[in-house]
Amino acid sequence: MARRTQSATRIVLAVHGGAGTMSRADLAPRREAQRRAALERALRAGYEILEEGGPSIDAVAAAVVVLEDTPLFNAGRGAVFNAAGEHELDAAIMDGARLRAGAVAGVRRARNPILLARAVMERTMHVLLAGAGADRFAREQALPLAPPGYFSTRPRLAALRREKLRRHGKSAQIEVPEAEGHGTVGAVALDRHRNLAAATSTGGYTNKMAGRVGDSPIVGAGIYADNTTCAVSATGHGEFFMRAVLCYDLAARMRYLGEPLRRAAARALARVAAMGGAGGLIALDRCGRLAMPFTTEGMYRGYVTGSGKFVVRIYRERRLRGS
């Protein structure tokens, strides 16, 4: 039995599906409904584990797998194309209890990069594996593989074509909803033993240079988890997040300045904004307090409380928790 009275209002799991420009007018109601439903499925997958007393690391992995398998987000299936017309996927997972972390960068064959990141954490002496070596490790570990075409979707191809035309100064005739431009996914969770965990997975940016690695698989930049502070997963302009060490900056503010979660989250993100970078993050502390700030028009996001109340949001809303 879950300790319901104590945990009823605290947040035990939060997910995001990317931050970016997404006006209500741009987003077709059907696609919006599909994305909301997928976020809720991800929350359910993680919540089931937590409710049964499972560890937060399992919950964040399960939630991210659901979003990686959904073609609507920029992670796993549905990932963006790089400039070479290929998919190079980045992912990371971190366990706040022991500060263990695993990450992969530029992988092309692992169907669920987050599971490969977890295997790096649990079955190697390394933190980050990249490229062909990471895919080889996926094969050796008998993790599910996928042919490159598996990750490809038409809207992402259209987004690549449009971006290439735009870069060449030609007006893009190809219709791509703004919401196709992003969609990195992530999760943060707090389990019954009060252990925190975080996970992030992405295809990066449309038309990124082949070989480009963003913030998502970089511990401290696009992900961080430490029981003494918080668990964080970020989404947005990775180059800025790396330079600001965004997720660690948030945790460090709590640790060294004693700032509460929400203030630390807002200030860490404001620092990135001052540098010119846009995006958002989800952050959860050990007391089940949640922050979900973003500097973009919207951020796909949701959370579930200890008593099983599910909330999913896309746009900026007044009186929304943490934003």
Q: What are the catalytic residues?
A: 184
Of 78, 295, 28, 21, nearest in space to 201 by CA: 78
Q: Does 7 bind ligand ASP (CB under 6 A)?
A: no
Residue 183 or 288: the one with the smaller Cβ distance to ligand ASP is 183
Under rule CB under 6 A, which residues in 210-249 are in contact with ligand ASP?
214-216, 222, 235-236, 238
Residue 71 or 214: the one with the smaller Cβ distance to ligand ASP is 214
Closest contact distance (angstroms) between CB of 80 and ligand ASP is 9
Return the half-sphere exposure (C-beta side, CA atoms, 13 A cut-off) of residue 284.
Answer: 31
**Region binding ligand ASP by CB under 6 A among candidate stretches 49-57, 97-105, 201-209, 267-275:** 201-209
| Exposure string for 204-226, b = 16+ CB within 10 A, e = fewer | bbbbbeeebbbbbbbbbbbbbbb
Burial zone of 170 (CB within 10 Å; 0-12 exposed, 13-18 middle, 19+ buried): exposed
Closest contact distance (angstroms) between CB of 4 and ligand ASP is 35
Residue 22 or 49: the one with the smaller Cβ distance to ligand ASP is 22
Alpha helices, H only, 131-288: 131-140, 154-167, 238-244, 246-257, 261-275
Number of residues that bind ligand ASP (CB under 6 A): 13
The single-letter DSSP state of residue 284 is: E
- Which of 156, 182, 262, 286 is in the footprint of ligand ASP by CB under 6 A? 182
Of 280, 275, 315, nearest in space to 179 by CA: 315
User: Cα 251 from chain centroid?
Assistant: 17
- Which of 18, 102, 220, 302 is in the footprint of ligand ASP by CB under 6 A? 18
Q: Say which residue the tokens 């366990």 belong to.
A: 95
- Which of 7, 56, 195, 202 is in the footprint of ligand ASP by CB under 6 A? 202
Residue 50 or 292: the one with the smaller Cβ distance to ligand ASP is 292
Residue 49 or 232: the one with the smaller Cβ distance to ligand ASP is 232
Closest contact distance (angstroms) between CB of 215 and ligand ASP is 5
Under rule CB under 6 A, which residues in 85-144 are in contact with ligand ASP?
none
Under rule CB under 6 A, which residues in 273-292 are in contact with ligand ASP?
none
Closest contact distance (angstroms) between CB of 282 and ligand ASP is 12
Residue 202 or 323: the one with the smaller Cβ distance to ligand ASP is 202
Strand order in the sheet with 230-236: 223-225, 230-236, 279-285, 290-291
d(Cα 153, Cα 81) in Å, to the nearest integer? 9
Closest contact distance (angstroms) between CB of 169 and ligand ASP is 24
Burial zone of 140 (CB within 10 Å; 0-12 exposed, 13-18 middle, 19+ buried): exposed
Of 65, 14, 16, 10, nearest in space to 194 by CA: 10
Residues that bind ligand ASP (CB under 6 A): 18, 182, 184, 202, 204-205, 214-216, 222, 235-236, 238
